[in-house]
Chains A and B, each alone.
Chain A
Amino acid sequence: MLLEVKNLKIYFYTKRGVVKAVDSVNLNVDKGEIVGLAGESGSGKSTIGYGIMRLVPFPGKIVDGQVLFKGEDILKMDEDTFRKNYRWKKIAMVFQGSMSGFTPVFKIKDQIIEVLKLHGWNGDYEERVRELFKMVNMDPILADKYPHELSGGQKQRAFIAMALALNPELLIADEPTTALDVIVQENILNLLKRLRKDLGISIIFITHDLALLSEISDRDYILYAGKVMESGPSEVIFKRPRHPYTQALIESIATLDKDVIKGIPGSMPDLSNPPTGCRFNTRCPFAKDICFKEEPKMKIFSDGDEVACWLY
């Protein structure tokens, strides 16, 4: 197993209280797998990505848990070792499409070369930049430009190129297509699929848009209020979802043959004061008494589906 996240807890210590953004999450990624991490905003999905990269912003802290990369707990390493050996070298991250990933005052090419040099990569830098750009299907001429001269889609692909610079084994893609138009979205998805095929790279795809995951991921984790509600192979999740939340999410996907789109009434609970029992209890149409008293445990089914729900 390439990546094993065990019992990860990330809390934010704010003036208004302790926000339990990620509360005991388990996650696995195997070599060459594309794993989807889905949930509403505030579900904690992006925070997990930051946690794996050890980039949790203030006032957040990784409180408990292990993140095993090929057996080694990267949370226990000191910052220097992690920065030199793992960050970007073994695990890289691509950020939300709307974020400016590049420093505005340096050329793209120079920033990629900087990354190469800092990690001790030797060789023909210009050639490598060209190689990377070809991998993401971009004209190498664009590397000689400043970030503001590129379109949103181009910037994102250039950033993916930079992410691949050191041949990482795992790529965390945090909402990489948000704020990009549909056609560009499609391009990026295809690019990621191709990278998995050509380079054998594993990908964690974080998004709120389940429709995307149906196209790209092998397995999915459905996150709600900082906890995993359901996880399993994409097929099972989309064709036979077991958890009420997953069912509601899939119902709410807009497709060409639907007349009515159902939303999910209510809003996420306050994570500084999470409810007792199942976190979905206030919005669940099937909620029973026990859902308000005790947290359901994960149940494993034969088709690979894992569900945390009192219905089962």
Chain B
Amino acid sequence: MGFWRFVLKKALIYFSVLIAAMTILYIFTFPILQQVIAKSINYGVAQYEQALFKYSHHLNITQVNIEVEKYKEYLISAYGLNQPIINKYFIQMYNLLRFNFGDAYFLQAPSGSREVSAIIAYYLPNTILLFTTASILFIIAGTIIGLLSANSKFWEKVVAVIAVVHSSLPTWWLGFILLAALAYSVKVFPPGGMVSVPPPKNPFDYGLSVLDHMALPLLSIFIVNVGGFAYIVRSLVASTLKEDFVITAKARGLSDSRILYRHVLRTASPSIATQAILVLTGSLSGSITTEIVFEWPGVGYLTYLAINQNDLPVILGITYVLTIVLLVGLFLGELVYGLLDPRIKVGE
């Protein structure tokens, strides 16, 4: 009972956070959106005016102007430009919740749809594939290295060094270097994209091709992030080792390795899981930028395309989607923490 109340409470909190975050985003992008709409209205009106002049000779100047004015009014109300801000705000929020981001300015999805949500829906799974795989790998590796370093001076030094790497190396730059080194100088891996062109028909070969293309970006994300996470795990484990129950565990005859890998790990795992989620949210930005270098068709690459084409609706859609991804991640993190820590699961 206690646990489900916990889940419900957290879900409500996260939902309210989502609304608040979107509101902030709205506040920041509202002016430019209005500007852009006004520009396209003016453009539409000018075109209409020109068409009138060209094709309707029977109307005189005043009549033309009246028609143009009427059209302008029509466009303004169609775009909702004349509504009070509050209305516009609620409409926008409602749309966002339904994942309706409107149409892109220039880009379109391979299926031909101009809807931003369709475009993002095409690119997002690729990002999730790359990022999730890389994350699982570096979290597991980081946890193992972090645990090892709690008792070993050698691993402790290793962790310190690679933690420095983590804080200073841009993922996308490492990707750049790896690409230049391993895909162009020494042609070990393919130079970008997600799958070879033309894609293999056989699903097994297709899968292999994807793995082949994923190797370098995966390596970049892994190298940059594994050290930081190992350092975090090491700190958590080290501070857990200072707790009383460790001495009492040793007193009752448990071996050091058993204490570390069962008792300490299990006790620290809620915090480790929370940190893992936080680290994921932090490494997401670097990873999606890496997509650009490798032309991996994910959300990062889409962002790059959208920037070059000044396609604001796409950017807004991506921001929203990533916010949701982050919030879902944090929410899951809290759930996992609750599950792993019996003090919450059984309720206090």
Residues of A within 8 A of B (CB): 53, 55, 57, 83-84, 87-89, 92-93, 95, 99-106, 114-115, 118-119, 146, 148-149, 159, 162-163
A148 to B341, CA, bound (A): 11
Question: Given A57, A92, A104, which contacts B252 in the complex, CB threshold below 8 Å?
Answer: A92
Q: Which residue of B lies closest to A102 (CB)?
A: B245
Q: Is B255's CB within 8 Å of the partner chain A?
A: yes
Inter-subunit contact A105/B252 (CB<8 Å): no
Nearest Cβ in chain B — how far from A170, in angstroms?
A: 13
Inter-subunit contact A149/B267 (CB<8 Å): no
Question: Given A55, A106, A146, which contacts B251 in the complex, CB threshold below 8 Å?
Answer: A55
A57 to B243, CA, bound (A): 12
**A contact residues around B269 at 8 Å (CB):** 105
**A contact residues around B348 at 8 Å (CB):** 148
Q: A104-B342, A104-B343 are in contact. Are A99 and B266 (CB under 8 A)?
A: no
**B contact residues around A83 at 8 Å (CB):** 253, 255
Kindly identify, within residues 235 to 287 of chain B, every residue whose CB is under 8 Å from any CB belonging to chain A: 243-245, 247-255, 258, 263, 266-267, 269
**B contact residues around A89 at 8 Å (CB):** 253
Question: Given A93, A101, A105, A162, which contacts B267 in the complex, CB threshold below 8 Å?
Answer: A105
Inter-subunit contact A87/B251 (CB<8 Å): yes
Nearest Cβ in chain B — how far from A140, in angstroms?
A: 18
Inter-subunit contact A119/B253 (CB<8 Å): yes
Q: A105-B266, A105-B342, A149-B346 are in contact. Are A93 and B245 (CB under 8 A)?
A: no
A162 to B252, CA, bound (A): 9
A162 to B245, CA, bound (A): 14
**A contact residues around B245 at 8 Å (CB):** 99-104
Q: A118-B254, A149-B346 are in contact. Are A95 and B249 (CB under 8 A)?
A: no
Inter-subunit contact B244/A101 (CB<8 Å): yes
Instruction: Indicate the member of B247, B249, B252, B267 with the most A CB atoms within 10 Å.
Output: B252
**A contact residues around B341 at 8 Å (CB):** 105
Q: A100-B243, A102-B245, A105-B266 are in contact. Are A53 and B251 (CB under 8 A)?
A: yes
Question: Given B253, B342, B346, which contacts A84 in the complex, CB threshold below 8 Å?
Answer: B253
A105 to B341, CA, bound (A): 7
Q: Could you jot down 19 A-B contacts, CB within 8 Å?
A: A55-B250, A57-B247, A83-B253, A89-B253, A93-B251, A95-B244, A101-B248, A102-B245, A103-B249, A104-B245, A104-B267, A104-B343, A105-B342, A114-B254, A115-B252, A118-B253, A118-B254, A146-B342, A159-B248
Q: A104-B245, A149-B346 are in contact. Are A88 and B253 (CB under 8 A)?
A: yes
Q: A55-B247, A100-B244 are in contact. Are A106 and B253 (CB under 8 A)?
A: no
Kindly identify, within residues 299 to 348 of chain B, every residue whose CB is under 8 Å from any CB belonging to chain A: 340-343, 346, 348
**A contact residues around B248 at 8 Å (CB):** 93, 95, 99, 101-102, 159
Nearest Cβ in chain A — how far from B263, in angstroms?
A: 5
A100 to B348, CA, bound (A): 17
Of all A-B residue pairs in the complex, the 10 with the closest CB atoms, nearest first, are A99-B244, A88-B253, A101-B248, A103-B263, A88-B252, A146-B342, A87-B253, A105-B266, A103-B245, A93-B251
A87 to B253, CA, bound (A): 6
A70 to B213, CA, bound (A): 69
A99 to B248, CA, bound (A): 9
Q: Which residue of B lies closest to A163 (CB)?
A: B252
A105 to B343, CA, bound (A): 8
A104 to B243, CA, bound (A): 11
A83 to B258, CA, bound (A): 13
Nearest Cβ in chain A — how far from B150, in angstroms?
A: 14
**A contact residues around B254 at 8 Å (CB):** 114-115, 118
Q: Which residue of A lies closest to B341 (CB)?
A: A105
